[in-house]
Amino acid sequence: MMRYMPKTVIELLIKNMKSLLWSPQKGWRLEVTDIAVDQGKILDVGLGLSYVAHKELHFPNIVVLPGLIDSQVHFREPGYEHKEDLYSGSKAALLGGITTVFEMPNTNPPTITRQLLDDKFNRAKGRMFVNYAFYGGGTKDNASSICDMEDHPSCPGIKVFMGSSFGPMLIDQEEALSQILQRTQKPLTVHAEDETILQKNKSELNPNSVIQHPQWRSEESCLSATKRAVNLARQLNKRVHILHVTTAQEVEFLRQNRDIATFEVLPQHLTLYAPDCYHELGTLAQQNPPIRDKNHQEALWRAVNNGWVTTLGSDHAPHTLEEKKRPYPQSPSGIPGVQTLLPIMLDHVNHNRLSLERLVDLMTIGVIRVFNLKNKGIIRPGFDADFTLVDLNKMWTIDNKDMASKCRWTPFHGKRVKGAVFAVIIGGHLCYQEGEILTEPMGQPAYFSNTK
C-alpha cells in the first residue's frame, strides 16, 4: 500500500530501494521501500514516503542492509600501534562495510580496569570511522574489577583467554575463571583453548613447521576448554559466548547446550582449509584456533545453515609482514579480516553456501541477542540510521594494496569474488561510496542493556 506523508524536510531519504527488513513476526524479508532518516535515526520505513530531504539516494541495483556489526576485532591500541590503531583499523572496517565494531582487550597494557577501559573510549573520540564498543579483559587477579568494567554502558562484556595467544592475558585455572563468571552479568566471551593440553602438545611435537599448527593447537584443546567454560557457566547459572569455533566436536557439544552457550565462526575457517592453506600461505594462515581440514569446515557450514551459530566475526588480528615471516613458531598468530569479512561472505552467498538473510542475521540479530545491543542492526523507526549498501553482482579481485590496515596484507590477496560494498551510511551520514571516504572519523559508542 502506498503511503503519503506530510512534506517534512528531513536529512536523508533512501528512495525506492531493495532493503533487507526484519521483524519478530515475519523474520527477514527483502522489499523495495523508502527509508526516511533524520537526526541520525530512522524516522520512517515504507513505500511512497513524501518527505523532502536534504539528500536523496536511489541506486536501483544496490541492496540496503542494516548496518553490519563485527563483534570481534583487535585494533592493537594501545601498545602495538605499529600493527594497527583505532584510526587505521576503523578505516578498514568502513571500507569493508562494517558500521560497528567490538574491540578486544589484549592490548598493552591490557584493558583490565575501568580506568584503562575509559582510556580506550577517550582514544576513540574523533578518531574512529565506525561506531565502537570495547571489551574488558579478565585475568587471574582482577575479578574485583569485572563489575566496574561491565557497568560501562558501551562495554559488551568481559573477554577471557583460556589458552595463551597474542598478548599478556591468560586464565588457565578453574578458580580464576569461576571467580570472574560469578561476577558477570553479561555473557562471558571466551577464547577456548586448553593451556595444559597446548603445553603438552608443544613439548611432544616440538613444532617447527606451520603445517603442525593444527596439531599443536589441537581439536582436543578446543573441546576441553569449551566444555569447561560451558559446564562452569551451567553450574553458576551464567552465559558464555565461545569465539571462533573450529571443530566438529565443539559444534555438536554447543548444539546440545544452546540454552546456556552461544558461539561464533569466522570467514577464514569457512573459506580456507588445511593443509592446503599452509602450503599456499605459510605463516600468513597462522591463527589461534587454527584453520583445520575440510571435515571441520563442513561441520561449521552445517552449523551456520542449521541456525546453531549465533554470530560471525572477523577476529581481525593484524601483524606486520616482517613479524609473520619469522620462522615458525616464533611467528605470531593472527590474520587481518575486518575489511574482507563481508566481501568473502557475499561471495559465499553468490555461490549458494548460505542466504543473504542468514549472513545478515549473523552480523546483526545474532549480535543483538548475545550482547543486548541497543538500537542497531535493524531497519526500523527509532533505530540508529546505520546502513551497509552492497552490490551483489560486482565481480572484483581482493588486493593487498587496497587494504587500509597498517599491516597492508590479506590472506585473500588475488581472490576473485562476487559481491562488493557499495556505500556505508553511519548515523544518517553517507560516509563511504564506491571507493571514496566522504567524511572525517565520526564513529560513536554503541550501547548495551545491562541485563543478564
State the pairing for strand pair 27-38/261-265.
Answer: unpaired
What are the residues whose beta carbons fall under 8 Å from the beta carbon of 138, sequence distance 6 or more? 112, 146, 158, 159, 160, 169, 171, 176, 177, 180, 188
Chain centroid to CA 228: 24
Phi (first) and psi of residue 333, to 5 degrees: -90, 140
Please give the helix or strand (H or E) that residue 362 lies within, else none.
Answer: helix 356-362
Contacts of 2 (CB under 8 A, 6+ apart): 47, 48
Helix 248-255 / helix 219-236 crossing angle, nearest 10 deg: 20
As to burial, measured by CB atoms within 10 angstroms (0-12 exposed, 13-18 middle, 19+ buried), residue 93 is buried
Give, in order, the Cα–Cα distances in Å from 101 to each of 2, 68, 144: 36, 9, 26
443, 394, 408, 338: CA torsion to nearest 10: 40
Residue 436, Cβ density class (10 Å: 0-12 exposed, 13-18 middle, ≥19 buried): exposed
Which entry of 70, 172, 194, 315 is annotated as an active-site residue?
Answer: 315
Beta carbons of 180 and 171 less than 8 angstroms apart: yes
Which residues fall within 8 angstroms of residue 203, CB to CB, at 6 or more apart?
none
Active-site residue, 386 included: no
DSSP letter (8 states) at residue 388: E
Residues carrying an active site annotation? 315
